[in-house]
Amino acid sequence: MKTFVVLMGAPGAGKGTQAKRLESLLGLPQVATGDLFRANLKNQTELGKLARTYMDKGELVPNEVTIAMVRERLSQPDCESGAILDGFPRTLAQAEALDELLMEFGAKIAVVPFIHVNQDVLVGRLAKRAEIEGRADDNEDTIRTRMQVYESETAPLLNYYDNRGLLVKVNGEQSIDEVSADLTAVIRQEMIS
Ligand code: AMP
């Protein structure tokens, strides 16, 4: 059975941290569109150059480009048993494209854990990450734009998945270990059922 998990949560909710942990805990690869774009940026590919113009402003890279990149990544052999999707889908068009893509692979989404963290906690975390990691898109203006984009484009997906009975809310304000334990339990439940 293939297990495709879509990890949802606002910027700063801990998706990246948790997806990396789940990769070793569950043996499923993390597919993070932000990381894929950053790797392209580092290697100065055409895709990287294009993505940069959006990332620097905290805006979304166009759907067609993002979907094509995900299609390519999910077609690789290590995703044969599934993947933990982190940062994708972020728009309704991407969510629909993912459904189609998985159907082509004879798979579907197993579960959509939503890491919930209150807004004031999120802003504090992102500011701290800016200091530690020095990510170019963690400055104040970009953070604000990313939050707005999340609210308008991505948050509606919570309803989209909830209506299909796939959304499971996890308290993201617990310790990192506790969040991992909750997520692992939620996903394992789907892997055995
Ligand atoms: P992240 O590392 O997930 O916070 O993503 C960093 C940036 O990459 C975002 O602010 C967007 O500019 C771009 N990005 C990542 N994932 C997507 C996506 N699914 N759709 C469009 N743009 C994305």
Residue 51 — pLDDT band, cuts 50, 70, 90? very high
Instruction: Look at residue 112 in the predicted model and tell me its pLDDT.
Output: 98
Mean pLDDT of 28-38: 97
Asked whether 180 lines ligand 1 (CB < 6 A), one says: no
The residue nearest atom 2 of ligand 1, judged by CA position, is: 34
All residues at 6 or more sequence positions from 130 whose CB lies less than 8 Å from its CB, including other chains: 138, 139, 143
Catalytic site includes residue 129: yes
Instruction: Look at residue 179 in the predicted model and tell me its pLDDT.
Output: 98
Mean pLDDT of 68-86: 97
- Given the residues 20, 71, 135, 169, select the one marked as catalytic: 135
- Cα–Cα distance measured from residue 43 to residue 16, given in angstroms and rounded to the nearest whole number: 21
- Name all domains of the chain by residue range, CATH numbers in brackets: 3-31+81-192 (3.40.50.300)
Q: Which residue has the tokens 């339990």?
A: 185
Asked whether 52 lines ligand 1 (CB < 6 A), one says: no
- Ligand 1 center to 122 CA (angstroms): 17
Mean pLDDT of 7-12: 95
Residue 136 — pLDDT band, cuts 50, 70, 90? low
Asked whether 146 lines ligand 1 (CB < 6 A), one says: yes
The residue nearest atom 6 of ligand 1, judged by CA position, is: 34
The amino acid occupying position 47 is L
Whole-model pTM: value is 0.93
Residue 28 — pLDDT band, cuts 50, 70, 90? very high
Catalytic site includes residue 144: no
Catalytic site includes residue 73: no
Catalytic site includes residue 146: yes
Give the Å distances, CA to CA, from 24 to 21, 96, 123, 171.
6, 28, 28, 21
Mean pLDDT of 109-122: 95
Residue predicted with more confidence, 175 or 125: 175
Among residues 9, 189, 191, the alpha carbon closest in space to that of 87 is found at 9
- Given the residues 2, 15, 71, 73, select the one marked as catalytic: 15
Mutate to test the pocket of ligand 1, among 15, 17, 33, 40 (most ligand atoms within 8 A of CB): 33
Residue 65 — pLDDT band, cuts 50, 70, 90? very high
- Per-residue pLDDT for 123 more than 90? no
Give the tokens for residue 180: 């991992």
- Given the residues 38, 52, 73, 90, select the one marked as catalytic: 90
Cβ 70 vs Cβ 98: under 8 Å: yes
- Per-residue pLDDT for 104 more than 70? yes
Instruction: Read off the pLDDT of residues 146-185 as tens digits, 9 standing for 90 and up.
Output: 999 999 999 999 999 999 999 999 999 999 999 999 999 9
